[in-house]
Amino acid sequence: MFRMKSAIWIAVLFILLACIPLVGHALDEPYLVTFFARVLVYALAACALNVVLGLAGLVSFGHAMFIGLGCYSVGILAHYGIDSGWIQLLICIAVCVVVGVLVGVVCLRTSGIGFIMITLAFSQMLYFLMISLPEFGADDGLNIYQPSDFGFFQLSGSSEVYWAAWALLLALVIFLTRFRVSPFGMVLRATRINPRRVDAFGYSVFRVQLASYVMSGVITGIAGFLLANLTQFASPSYIAWHVSGDLIVMVVIGGIGLVTGPLVGAIAYLVLEEVLKGWTTHWMLIMGPIIVLIALLGRNQFSWLKACLQRPAPSARLVKSVATSPTVGETP
């Protein structure tokens, strides 16, 4: 019953999203396609962040770093005349893996506020590095004149980026639906509840969290890859700390730990932002209190969605039993 409701919800949501380009072309409103392409790209990054935030309980305040790595993987290679999408994507993934491992090894030695501040520090280091490189536009950014060419298609317009993001997001949601109830996913969720007891069961909490951090970074980098092709621009502003904050807000609004929560949160956050911008230039004065109110409502704001999609399942009981069962030497 649980899986059926989840599958129906996902199907309905993605069918509605698939209708957006059709509606945009019918109304002759290309901006609608461009806007929702941006929504899907940020939803992809938010879903990636939810792997470490929602499942592992790690608050990464530097995930914009991976968006920047994805953007500059396209921008720098295009700057030197390399427009092959396969090469750009391979470089993007490789760079995100290397950076994710190096940063994760350092950050995961800490927890809580220490983890938050170190991830932010690494992101800011990349930010200041890019604004100090005039050959790549410095703080003015880098224009991308050649879209990523995959041979049988190019990311040459909003519609192409939209469908690429739609397909990747659908694949990611389906994957995460299975991943969270897989043995690795259940161990990862258990590390959020009680890492000491997970370690006592013979699992390396550090390795599990590092693997999830690297996986999350790679997916976020792919979102940056799509964002660069959408805007035809690579800028240090994509690495700024507030971008990481926006991703966290999207996850929180949609529901921390929900598979489709980041997607719902990205739609709600970016659509609300767009509406408020149309009303007033001081839209941030209105957006701020709204976010505060949402945060005060609780951990998962879309409680109706949680009730429909996340009723207690056998896997959830297994995670709880692993995390709460007494370790050797403890009194039950």
Q: Is residue 97 part of a domain?
A: yes
pLDDT category at 199 given cuts 50, 70, 90 is confident
The 3 state secondary structure assigned to the chain is CHHHHHHHHHHHHHHHHHHHHHHHHHCCCHHHHHHHHHHHHHHHHHHHHHHHHHHCCCCCCCCHHHHHHHHHHHHHHHHCCCCEHHHHHHHHHHHHHHHHHHHHHHHCCCCCHHHHHHHHHHHHHHHHHHCCCHHHCHHHCEECCCCCECCCCECCCHHHHHHHHHHHHHHHHHHHHHHCCCHHHHHHHHHHHCHHHHHHCCCCHHHHHHHHHHHHHHHHHHHHHHHHHHHCEECHHHHCHHHHHHHHHHHHHHCCCCCCHHHHHHHHHHHHHHHHHHHCCCHHHHHHHHHHHHHHHCCCCCHHHHHHHCCCCHHHHHHHHHHHCCCCCCCC
Which of 81-85, 262-266, 317-321, 328-332 comes out lowest in average pLDDT? 328-332
User: Do 136 and 79 meet the contact criterion of CB atoms below 8 Å apart?
Assistant: yes
Which of 66-75, 221-230, 268-277 comes out lowest in average pLDDT? 268-277
Q: Is residue 167 part of a domain?
A: yes
Structure token pair of residue 291: 């976010």
Question: What is the tens place of the pLDDT at every residue in 306-325?
Answer: 444 444 444 444 455 544 55
Structural domain tally of the chain?
1
Residue 2: the pLDDT is 52
Structure token pair of residue 70: 């994805």
Residue 16: the pLDDT is 93
Residue 308: the pLDDT is 46
- Is residue 283 scored above 90 in pLDDT? no
Q: Is residue 131 part of a domain?
A: yes
Q: Is residue 20 part of a domain?
A: no
Residue 4: the pLDDT is 73
Q: Is residue 142 part of a domain?
A: yes
Angle at 238 between CA 72 and CA 298, to 5 degrees: 135
Kindly state the average pLDDT of the residues 176-186: 91
Q: Is residue 218 part of a domain?
A: yes
User: Do 242 and 254 meet the contact criterion of CB atoms below 8 Å apart?
Assistant: no
Pick from 116, 120, 142, 135: nearest CA to 236: 142
User: Do 300 and 256 meet the contact criterion of CB atoms below 8 Å apart?
Assistant: yes
Question: What is the tens place of the pLDDT at every residue in 95-117?
Answer: 999 999 999 999 998 888 889 99
| Percent of all residues in the chain with a pLDDT value above 70, rounded to a whole number | 88
Question: What is the tens place of the pLDDT at every residue in 33-46?
Answer: 999 999 999 999 99
Q: Is residue 215 part of a domain?
A: yes
Average pLDDT, the chain: 86
Kindly state the average pLDDT of the residues 279-286: 83
pLDDT category at 51 given cuts 50, 70, 90 is very high
**Chain centroid, CA 297 distance in Å:** 23
Q: Is residue 10 part of a domain?
A: no
User: Residue 241 CB: number of other CB atoms within 10 A?
Assistant: 15
Question: What is the tens place of the pLDDT at every residue in 202-225?
Answer: 888 999 999 999 999 999 999 999
Residue 298: the pLDDT is 54
> What angle, 0 to 180 degrees and rounded to 10, lies between the N-to-C axes of helices 205-231 and 158-179?
170
List the domain range (segments joined by +) for residue 213.
35-240
- Is residue 329 scored above 70 in pLDDT? no
Residue 304: the pLDDT is 41
Which residues have C-beta within 8 Å of that of residue 283, sequence separation ≥ 6?
A: 273, 276, 277
Question: What is the tens place of the pLDDT at every residue in 24-34?
Answer: 888 888 899 99
Q: Of the spans 61-75, 141-155, 185-199, 264-278, which averages the highest pLDDT?
A: 61-75
Rounded Cα distance, 65 and 127, in Å: 8
Which residues have C-beta within 8 Å of that of residue 245, sequence separation ≥ 6?
A: 61
| Percent of all residues in the chain with a pLDDT value above 90, rounded to a whole number | 54
Residue 331: the pLDDT is 41
